[in-house]
Structures are given as structure tokens and as C-alpha cells.
Amino acid sequence: MQSFDLIVIGSGSGLTVSSEAADLGLAVAVVEHGPFGGTCLNRGCIPSKMLIHSADVMETIRRADLFGISAQVSGVDWDFIVRRVANTIDADAQAIEEANRQHPNITVFKDTGRFVGRKALEVGGKRITAETIVIAAGTRPRVPDIDGLTDVPFVTSDEALRLPKQPRRLAIVGGGYIAAELAHFFGALGTEVTIVHRRPRLLRLEDDDVSALFTEVYQRRFTMLLNTVVRRAYRDGETIALELASDGQQRTLTTDALLLAVGRVPNTDLLDVAQTGVAVNDRGFIKVDEYLETDVPGIWALGDIVGRYLLKHSADLEAAHVAQNILNSENKMPVDYHAMPHAIFSSPQVASVGLTERQAQEQGLPYVAGTYKYYDTAYGFSIEDKDGFAKVIAQRETGEILGCHIIGSEASILIQEVANAVRMRLTTEAISQAIYVHPALPEVVQRAFHSLPI
């Protein structure tokens, strides 16, 4: 059995730990069965946003008449769109792998790893061990238990980003951020999209006002089958048939392609983490303390496999802390997740930080809330954003900013200033009393703050 000072399982954010340790002279093993760079680079946020930009461009063209411009699309080069993304991502992944292989203190094991003991792994027929192990092996798309599904050529987000051919009709099962983003991508480029969701609204984890408006907008864009479950899937010639149930009513949906976007599950089972004695919760995510160490001393975990936030920037935050806490164990630092923002790159975009209004109510906090519509600002009016709004929640007595929720153009950009303020636990005056450029879109955020009844 080959011994190392440190083993890192997963080549996403975990590489922050392995690279820092290797630069300090430690013997490091990196275990990765797929392309380097993790989910974000290869199957998640980066390729999806590159593809979605093509959809955004298409949407801009289709709305050109609103601004006195006559434009039309003569065609969509699907091969080019997919190849552009794939070539970029694959080159980046290969460069990351080569950099690790060339480091004198890093040994790359390019195969599937599986625990065979408390601190021992079997990788490609070899066994390796280390006193310190970091598990950063992420998650994978969840595949629901649907009768007949194994006989149907479905795809998940892993495959959807590299489909060799654009489907004419696509059924998406799910109602979260992945379903929202991919519906926008395929739909804007001309695919007939049907969303099948078992709940009454999309994006249920967002603020209720945002979720309600988003659902309304998507009902204009796509065929939406809400409060609907898939009972059975089967082939119908060259197509896929889904037997659906909604409020006791049965119907059949026929489609050319089926995308499952119903959440993600941790890879702890594939790693056989049980062999280490590391505790997991009832959903299979690894339990860690405030320093990200498991209940087995010397075994740490970070990123999606911990299940705190399934976000790349959260994983990067955690990786920095794990590196600090392993390499400077006398000065360990707990992770402060306060003000973790997120964004959904759909159309309209959605972005959020802090508490939703429902969460403030559930926690019994004295709060005030205010909203302001894009269209009531000069820039929002100029870009014809008639749906978007910014919503702010603040503590009634102190004025501390508790949360902000934005739906509309460039929401992913607009949220950042509020995320910074919430992170620093500032009061509403930090934004309401600031000087904003006029006319510019960030005014919608400031005016939402001005609308607070405090």
C-alpha cells in the first residue's frame, strides 16, 4: 500500500487544498476518475452559462422590434454552439490535469476511488493511504424511480450540455434552477419545451413573490404542467411517451427527448464512505463540524458532498478553510456562511442573498419588506423590463439588511452589492444613503431600499 501525507478525492475545489499542501512539500495524491476541474467546469456552471449566452443573444434578437430594429434569425448552428463550449471546457480540464501531473509532489490517480478501510482507498487496482484525507467528490444528478425509465433514452444535466442534435420537442421533469436554466437554453433556440413539475410553482426555495412571478413568466414561454407527476415512461416508436397524473386526471405526453432535473445526490455511496466510519445524514451527505472535519479525525470534507450549499463559490470558501485548518491546525477557522448569494441564469434571471420573507416570518423576526419594479426606473423602462423587481427585507428596529431577492435583467450582477452589505451586516443606510449613477439599472435596488417603511 502506497502512503501519502494527504489524499484529496475530487479535482474541483479540492485542488485548492492539494496544491497548497504540495507547494509546502507534502506528498499528495489526487484521485479523480473524470476530467479535472469538477462539476462546475465540466458539467455545471461554466458550460451551462456559455450555452445560455447563446440563448440570451437569441432572445435579444427576438425582442429587437421593441426598440425599432427589424431583425431575424436565419438559422441556429447547433454543432458550433455545442462544440465551442466543449472545446473550451475540455482544453481547460486537460490543462488542469497536466499541471497536477507536472507538480513534483502530486501523484494523480486517474480512476475511480473506493474506500476499503478507515483511511485506505483502492484506486484502479492500487491501494493508497494517508493520515489526512479530503473528500471533495461532489454529487451527481438524481434519477427518480419511474416505471419504465430504464428503457427510455433520458438525459440529465450531465448529458444535456453536449447533445449532438437539438431536439424538436423536449420534456423537462423538475422545477428547480437546473430545469429553469436549461428550459431557457433549449427554448430560446427553438425547441418546444414542456416542463413537468410536481409542485404548484417553480423555484420553490426562492422568495414566494419571486417564485410566483417566475412561474407566471415561464407559463407564457413554455408549456407548463404543474402539480403533475410522471407515473410511467416508455418508447413510442422514435419518440418517448410519459404517462402523467394530475389531480386524479391521467394524460400522456409525447416528446422527442426527456431531461431529468430533479435534484442531485452525493457520491458517498460510490466512494463507500461507510468503510471509513465517517457519519452521513439521512440524505447521504457527509456530516462535518464547523471546521469541516468529519467525526473521524484527519478526514475532512468540502463542497457539494457536504450538502450545505451546492454552489461553486461555497465550495471555494470551504476549500480555503480546509486548507487553512489542515496546514495551520493550531489556528483553525470555522466557516462563516453568512450572506451566501446565488443566481439563476434563466430568463428572467433570479438572484438572492439572505433570508426570504417566509424565513423571516418563521423565525419570528421583526422585519419590514419593500419592493420596486424595474419598469419604474429610467433604465428599466428603457430596456422594456416590465416584469422584474427587487425586494428587500430588513430588521425593523436596527435596520440591518436581512435579505434581498431580485428577478429581472442582470439580477446576477445587481445582487452583489447587497450581498457585500449583508456579509458585513450593514444597515439599510449603506445602500439607501449611497450615491447611485442615474440612469442605471442598480437604481432599482436602491429604490427598493427607499421603499422600506422605516
Domain boundaries, the chain: 2-140+265-331, 149-262, 342-450
Q: How confident is the model at residue 454, as a pLDDT? A: 84
**Does the structural domain 342-450 have CATH classification 3.40.50.150?**
no
Q: How confident is the model at residue 381, as a pLDDT? A: 97
Single out the catalytic residue among 321, 338, 438, 450.
438
Distance separating alpha carbons of residues 123 and 261, to the nearest angstrom: 30
Over 49-112, what HEC string results? HHHHHHHHHHHHHHCHHHHCCCCCCCCCCHHHHHHHHHHHHHHHHHHHHHHHHHCCCEEEECCC
Residue 3's DSSP bridge partners are: 129
Answer for the pair 10, 32: CB distance below 8 angstroms, yes or no: yes
Q: How confident is the model at residue 299, as a pLDDT? A: 98
Please give the model's pTM, rounded to 2 decimal places.
0.96
Q: Is 438 a catalytic residue?
A: yes
Q: How confident is the model at residue 352, as a pLDDT? A: 98
Distance separating alpha carbons of residues 254 and 268, to the nearest angstrom: 35
**Does the structural domain 2-140+265-331 have CATH classification 3.40.50.300?**
no
Residue 373's DSSP bridge partners are: 389
**407-430 mean pLDDT:** 98
Give the pLDDT band (50/70/90) at residue 81.
very high
Give the pLDDT band (50/70/90) at residue 248.
confident
Q: How confident is the model at residue 236, as a pLDDT? A: 92
**Chain mean pLDDT for the chain:** 97
Q: Please, what is the Cα angle at 67 between 64 and 72, to 5 degrees? A: 20
Domains 2-140+265-331 and 342-450 agree in fold? no
Mark out the alpha helices in 404-442 (DSSP H runs): 411-423, 429-432
Distance separating alpha carbons of residues 202 and 100, to the nearest angstrom: 41
Look up the CATH architecture of domain 149-262: 3-Layer(bba) Sandwich (3.50)
Give the pLDDT band (50/70/90) at residue 171.
very high
Residue 134 scores a pLDDT above 90: yes
pLDDT tens profile 14-67: 999 999 999 999 999 999 999 999 999 999 999 999 999 999 999 999 999 999
Residue 243 scores a pLDDT above 90: yes
Give the pLDDT band (50/70/90) at residue 307.
very high
Give the pLDDT band (50/70/90) at residue 437.
very high
Question: Inter-axis angle of helices 78-102 and 45-62, to 10 degrees?
Answer: 150
**290-314 mean pLDDT:** 98
**347-355 mean pLDDT:** 98
Answer for the pair 138, 15: CB distance below 8 angstroms, yes or no: no
Give the pLDDT band (50/70/90) at residue 445.
very high
**375-394 mean pLDDT:** 98
**130-152 mean pLDDT:** 97
**358-385 mean pLDDT:** 98
